[in-house]
Amino acid sequence: MTHTTTKTALITGASSGIGKALAENFAKDGYNLVLAARGIAKMQTLADDLQRRYKISATVIGADLETKDGATKLHADIKARNITISALANNAGYGSFGEFKDSALPTELAMMQLNMNTVVVLTKLFMPDLIATRGKILNTASTAAFQPGPYMAVYYATKAFVLSFSEAIAAELEGTGVTVTALCPGPTASGFQDKADMHASALVKGKKLPSSEDVAAAGYRAMQNGQRVFVPGFMNWVMAQSVRFTPRNMVTAMVKQMSKPTAA
Ligand SMILES: NC(=O)c1ccc[n+]([C@@H]2O[C@H](COP(=O)([O-])OP(=O)(O)OC[C@H]3O[C@@H](n4cnc5c(N)ncnc54)[C@H](OP(=O)(O)O)[C@@H]3O)[C@@H](O)[C@H]2O)c1
């Protein structure tokens, strides 16, 4: 398969899970890729595979995006390579499970840096590219964005930020040709549960979760359709809608019940 396009997508968190699967979707569509995360070896294996199968070019950049200057360094690195970004997938992120009173503050702050600040910085710095190319922004939020989340209080709040930010700039960018899509998956099989140390949570324990590949493919289609908010999975969508008509205290109590640690 040979593509004549020069579209390039930057995907953060491309070393694993949903980001890795998003890279496949972009490549299949003929986008050249810039893959960014810390796991360089995993991304290089992915890049080699996608270049071979889809005849695109893929650049791997090691980036720690939970550091204060990680996002600006990544932007500078991409500009130094003379690459113009026409699709930005702000996907890197993680959660942390447990009671806020016991959690490690440095972890919460690093998570906030990655899940929120990095999204804002990359969106800001690549905006000239995106406007020039009438490009696309795909921000991985979560169903966590729709309500408070006891036992993952900071994580849920970061995703509420991503959703609100995405919808607001989508409205501002009307008429520019740039679309913004907030992808809001429910629990999905990926490296997320290990990293968040949440296998004891009733949200995921003993549940068969949808694959990262299915979630990414659906999210990619929503982005191509210019959909502003996309919740994959019918039940996730029903839950996201129902919280709008339920008293907030009740919703929070329900999430507490659904998320709480269960005995091993
Ligand atoms: N899985 C779920 O249940 C679920 C549900 C809703 C939303 N989400 C969201 O989906 C997104 C992708 O997560 P996932 O489920 O695919 O989990 P994952 O398999 O753990 O992937 C997370 C990705 O983020 C990258 N990342 C983590 N810390 C980073 C850092 N400091 N700098 C740069 N990259 C970093 C990881 O790469 P390195 O470790 O190599 O740096 C990895 O590529 C996240 O934003 C997550 O919040 C996940």
> Which secondary structure element, helix H or strand E, spans residue 194, and what is its range?
helix 192-196
The residue annotated as part of the active site, out of 151, 155, 156, 220, is: 155
N-term to C-term CA, the chain: 49
Asked whether residue 159 carries a pLDDT value surpassing 50, the answer given is: yes
Residues 111-124 have pLDDT tens digits of 999 999 999 999 99
| Among the listed residues 80, 178, 174, the one whose alpha carbon sits nearest the alpha carbon of residue 130 | 178
Whether ligand 1 lies within 6 angstroms of the CB of 38 is answered as yes
Quickly count: other Cβ atoms within 10 Å of residue 225's Cβ.
10
**Residues 6 or more apart from 198 whose CB is under 8 A from it?**
95, 97, 152, 204
What percent of the chain shows pLDDT beyond 70?
Answer: 97
- DSSP letter (8 states) at residue 191: S
Asked whether residue 1 carries a pLDDT value surpassing 80, the answer given is: no
Residue 209 alpha carbon, nearest atom of ligand 1: 3
**Residues 6 or more apart from 220 whose CB is under 8 A from it?**
22, 25, 26, 29, 138
d(CA 91, CA 16) in angstroms, rounded, equals: 11
Give me the residue spans of the domains in the chain. 8-259
Q: What's the rounded mean pLDDT across residues 149-173?
A: 98
- 168: which 2 tokens? 């607001």
Residue 39 alpha carbon, nearest atom of ligand 1: 40
Q: How many helices (H) and strands (E) does the chain have?
A: 10, 7
Whether ligand 1 lies within 6 angstroms of the CB of 66 is answered as yes
Give the residue, out of 12, 154, 159, 190, with the most ligand 1 atoms within 8 A of its beta carbon, to mutate for a pocket test: 190
Catalytic residue check, 155: yes
Residues 10-40 have pLDDT tens digits of 999 999 999 999 999 999 999 999 999 999 9
d(CA 146, CA 172) in angstroms, rounded, equals: 21
In terms of phi and psi (left: phi > 0; alpha: psi -120 to 50; beta: otherwise), the region of 13 is left
pTM of the model: 0.96
Q: What's the rounded mean pLDDT across residues 150-165?
A: 98
Q: Which CATH superfamily is domain 8-259 in?
A: NAD(P)-binding Rossmann-like Domain (3.40.50.720)
Distance, CA 17 to ligand 1 centroid (Å)? 7
Whether ligand 1 lies within 6 angstroms of the CB of 16 is answered as yes
Inter-residue contact 96 to 111 (CB < 8 Å): yes
Per-residue confidence (pLDDT) for residue 261, from 0 to 100 = 84
Distance, CA 18 to ligand 1 centroid (Å)? 7
Per-residue confidence (pLDDT) for residue 5, from 0 to 100 = 55
Residue 212 alpha carbon, nearest atom of ligand 1: 16
Whether ligand 1 lies within 6 angstroms of the CB of 135 is answered as no
